[in-house]
Amino acid sequence: MMCELQSLHFSDDGYVVRCKQCGHFQIAFISTILTLTEQDFQLLCSVVRNKYREEDCCPNENVKCIIIPTPCQGIRLILTRKDAKELRHMLEEADSEYKALLLIGLFNQ
């Protein structure tokens, strides 16, 4: 069965899509692609949001010092402060779009 993808966010930094059949999210950012369940997607959004709020540990914004654990065993992202900001923005936009589509779907039933 082929995936029927919904685009939730697309930019020069990456994309977030969701398969309408299986419900999995695919996130592409820098050189990484993650495929996550809805629960894992929400967890990643929360982790990125919280990591970005933490005290800035980087003396230089171009230093990769922010480590983001992912729900995928053994996979972590190491990002600059700027990268973390872009990822947070990308995930927030995708999450907002997904929630809007869910609400629209309630009215179309």
pLDDT (mean) for 10-23 = 94
Give pLDDT tens digits for 22-44: 999 999 999 999 999 999 999 99
On whether the CB atoms of residues 19 and 32 are closer than 8 A, the answer is no
On whether the CB atoms of residues 16 and 9 are closer than 8 A, the answer is yes
pTM: 0.88
**For the CA atoms of 74, 75, 76, 78, what is the dihedral angle to 10 degrees?**
120
Nearest to 96 by CA among 36, 24, 42: 42
